[in-house]
């Protein structure tokens, strides 16, 4: 695993002062600062000689604490300081000396899988052709992917009390789960990560209601916080309706020339477009909306939210599709793309089908062109989703069983007043407490893997409380090359 390889390179178990030279920005490939922080290192960026000298003399020289100083440039580091630290250079070459560096760089999204296979590489493959053969023939082989996924599944959930997992901890788990699911679909091997949902459901019932009060660093914790988080200067928000973390794993490998930060946010529950996308674009929770179950006021609510953030109506644009009518007046644009959600609701081949369809879509270049066009016009560009999606098996359709909700999803029910759910449905659903929702209704969501679709029909859908539906990507575009 890449984390283990980096820990060994840093001698992290033995050293208390690290001087890390990362002039090639390996941190953009793998964020090792999180590893350092987890090992109780104070991470310091070395950017100014005099400022660091002052900090060194006042705080570091006589301290027993752990310090990791990272140097990203060719800036001078005095000799007397260097000899007090364990020096290490980190790069793709230092991590994988037997491989061709530029070739490995093309597969940085798969660096952990490469590292896993590298442990069994005993001869040099340092030419471009040899490294390409190693990656295509060994790294992406079914045997290696299966072995990697099996190891990752064992460490997907931490040992001990799962109630200690924070909202950020669940985001980390969701990202790892999505990566496992991605590789399993890519290699077409059966891997079950659904066991995570039993523990995640406990968090939803106990911790989800506190998300509205949690810090927004490094990203909005829950979707209604997005507008306030991004509303600074000239901004464009691209909403890929229905995109899950799994889908983004596919998309991310097609974003050549686009540098970004990858974070996550929590969708609103029930994870339907009407409820969660409205919350995203209005900056409000469903209980604050006049029509939370329909999309008829979505544009109006977005413009109102933008006006509350300091933009005029003339500066706001609500658009759908890849050719938004941007004018020189536009300062805040919300652009909705429905392609992925359409794939979800037309999907007949489960995750494998989603992998193939999303990959084909991502390769057509429309999303990349939209991002690059908006960026070239001076927009700060963000990409997110209103909800994810999950594989289910239909348990039979139901009719006239609740409040009409504008959604293609068949994983939730909303009941009015004192209405009760039918006994025949009781073992297929759980009652959701209605956090952030109108308390005049009762909310039921299907259990994992179950939907009210045609009996025994395999579908991809959304509306429930699985980790795949609730935790969604939040992407900040940093640069376009």
Count of other CB atoms within 10 angstroms of residue 151? 13
Cα–Cα distance, 463 to 293 (Å, whole number): 12
Chain centre distance of CA 44: 26
For the stretch 135-185, pLDDT in tens is: 999 999 999 999 999 999 999 999 888 888 999 999 999 999 999 999 999
> Residue 421 has what pLDDT?
75
Question: What ranges in 327-423 are assigned the alpha helix state H?
Answer: 339-345, 350-363, 366-376
Question: What ranges in 294-439 are assigned the alpha helix state H?
Answer: 298-308, 339-345, 350-363, 366-376
The pLDDT confidence band at residue 468, using thresholds 50, 70 and 90, is: very high
Tell me the two tokens of residue 36. 């350092």
User: Is pLDDT above 90 for 350?
Assistant: yes
Cα–Cα distance, 328 to 234 (Å, whole number): 11
For the stretch 352-373, pLDDT in tens is: 999 999 999 999 999 999 999 9
The pLDDT confidence band at residue 407, using thresholds 50, 70 and 90, is: low
Tell me the two tokens of residue 42. 């104070």
Q: Which range is least confidently modeled, 38-42, 216-220, 274-278?
A: 216-220
Cα–Cα distance, 300 to 283 (Å, whole number): 12
Query: What is the rounded end-to-end Cα distance, in angstroms, of the chain?
Result: 30
Q: CB of 333 within 8 A of CB of 317? A: yes
Contacts of residue 131, defined as CB under 8 A and 6 or more positions apart, other chains included, come to: 99, 100, 103, 104, 125
Rounded alpha-carbon distances, angstroms, from residue 185 to 189, 250, 310, 356: 6, 10, 44, 9
What would you report as the CA-atom Rg of the chain, rounded to the nearest whole angstrom?
24
> Residue 400 has what pLDDT?
67
Q: CB of 414 within 8 A of CB of 406? A: no
Contacts of residue 311, defined as CB under 8 A and 6 or more positions apart, other chains included, come to: 231, 331, 332
Per-residue b or e along 445-479, where b marks 16 or more CB atoms closer than 10 Å to that residue's CB: bbbbebbbbeeeebbbbbbbbbbbbbbbbbbbbee
The pLDDT confidence band at residue 252, using thresholds 50, 70 and 90, is: very high
Chain centre distance of CA 465: 16
222-481: what fold? Answer: Alkaline Phosphatase, subunit A (3.40.720)
Q: What SS3 state is found at 34?
A: helix
Tell me the two tokens of residue 197. 């949902």
> Residue 118 has what pLDDT?
96
Contacts of residue 347, defined as CB under 8 A and 6 or more positions apart, other chains included, come to: 353, 354, 357, 459, 460
Q: CB of 223 within 8 A of CB of 280? A: yes
Phi, psi of 112 (to 5 degrees): -70, -40
The pLDDT confidence band at residue 195, using thresholds 50, 70 and 90, is: very high
Q: CB of 307 within 8 A of CB of 313? A: yes
Q: CB of 128 within 8 A of CB of 167? A: no
Under DSSP, the state recorded for 277 is I
Tell me the two tokens of residue 424. 């025949």
For the stretch 201-244, pLDDT in tens is: 999 999 999 999 998 788 999 999 999 999 999 999 999 999 99
For the stretch 435-461, pLDDT in tens is: 999 998 999 999 999 999 999 999 999
Cα–Cα distance, 135 to 144 (Å, whole number): 11
| Residue range(s) of every CATH 3.40.720.10 domain in the chain | 222-481
Cα–Cα distance, 171 to 149 (Å, whole number): 18
HSE-up of residue 263 (Cα within 13 Å, Cβ side): 21
Q: What SS3 state is found at 272?
A: coil
Cα–Cα distance, 279 to 104 (Å, whole number): 41
Contacts of residue 258, defined as CB under 8 A and 6 or more positions apart, other chains included, come to: 368, 371, 372, 477, 479, 480, 481
Q: In percent, how much of the chain has pLDDT > 70?
A: 98
Q: pTM for the whole thing? A: 0.92
Residue with tokens 């290696």: 144
The pLDDT confidence band at residue 28, using thresholds 50, 70 and 90, is: confident
HSE-up of residue 212 (Cα within 13 Å, Cβ side): 12
Q: What share of the chain is helix, strand, coil (3-state, %, to 5)?
A: 40, 20, 40
> Residue 416 has what pLDDT?
81
For the stretch 416-431, pLDDT in tens is: 876 677 777 788 999 9
Count of other CB atoms within 10 angstroms of residue 315? 17
Contacts of residue 373, defined as CB under 8 A and 6 or more positions apart, other chains included, come to: none
Cα–Cα distance, 444 to 438 (Å, whole number): 13
2-137: what fold? Answer: Rossmann fold (3.40.50)
| Residue range(s) of every CATH 3.40.50 domain in the chain | 2-137
Q: CB of 427 within 8 A of CB of 416? A: no
């Amino acid at each position: 695993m890449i984390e283990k390889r980096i820990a060994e390179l840093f001698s992290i178990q033995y050293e208390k002062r690290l001087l890390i030279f990362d002039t090639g920005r390996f941190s953009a490939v793998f964020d090792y600062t999180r590893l350092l922080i987890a090992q109780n290192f104070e991470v310091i960026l070395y950017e100014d000689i005099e400022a660091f000298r002052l900090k060194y003399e006042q705080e570091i020289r006589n301290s027993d604490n752990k310090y990791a100083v990272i140097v990203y440039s060719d800036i001078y580091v005095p000799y007397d300081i260097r000899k007090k630290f364990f020096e290490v250079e980190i790069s793709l070459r230092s991590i994988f000396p037997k491989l061709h560096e530029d070739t490995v760089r093309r597969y940085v999204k798969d660096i952990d899988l490469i590292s896993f296979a590298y442990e069994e590489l005993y001869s040099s493959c340092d030419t471009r052709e040899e490294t390409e053969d190693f990656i295509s023939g060994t790294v992406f082989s079914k045997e290696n992917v299966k072995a990697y996924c099996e190891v990752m599944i064992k460490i997907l959930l931490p040992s001990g009390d799962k109630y200690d997992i924070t909202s950020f901890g669940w985001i980390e788990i969701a990202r790892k789960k999505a990566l496992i699911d991605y590789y399993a679909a890519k290699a077409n091997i059966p891997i079950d990560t659904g066991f995570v949902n039993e523990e995640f459901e406990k968090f939803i019932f106990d911790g989800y209601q506190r998300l509205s009060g949690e810090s927004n660093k490094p990203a909005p914790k829950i979707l209604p916080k997005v507008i306030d988080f991004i509303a600074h200067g000239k901004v464009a928000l691209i909403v890929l309706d229905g995109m899950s973390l799994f889908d983004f794993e596919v998309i991310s490998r097609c974003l050549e020339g686009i540098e970004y930060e990858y974070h996550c946010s929590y969708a609103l529950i029930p994870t339907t477009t009407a409820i969660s996308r409205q919350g995203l674009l209005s900056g409000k929770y469903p209980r604050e909306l006049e029509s939370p179950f329909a999309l008829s006021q979505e544009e109006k609510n977005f413009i109102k939210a933008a006006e509350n953030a300091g933009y005029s109506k003339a500066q706001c644009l609500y658009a759908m599709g890849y050719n938004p009518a941007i004018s020189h007046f536009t300062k805040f644009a919300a652009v909705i793309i429905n392609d992925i959600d359409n794939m979800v609701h037309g999907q007949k081949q489960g995750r494998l089908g989603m992998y193939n369809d999303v990959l084909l879509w991502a390769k057509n270049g429309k999303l990349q062109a939209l991002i690059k066009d908006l960026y070239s016009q001076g927009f700060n560009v963000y990409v997110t989703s209103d909800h994810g999606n999950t594989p289910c098996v239909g348990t039979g359709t139901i009719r006239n069983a609740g409040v009409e909700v504008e959604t293609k999803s068949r994983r939730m029910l909303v009941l009015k007043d004192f209405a009760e759910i039918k006994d025949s449905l009781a073992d297929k659903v759980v009652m959701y407490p209605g956090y952030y929702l109108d308390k005049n209704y009762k909310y039921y969501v299907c259990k994992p893997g179950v939907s009210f679709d045609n009996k025994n029909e395999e579908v991809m859908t959304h509306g429930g409380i699985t980790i795949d539906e609730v935790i969604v990507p939040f992407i900040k575009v940093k640069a376009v090359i």
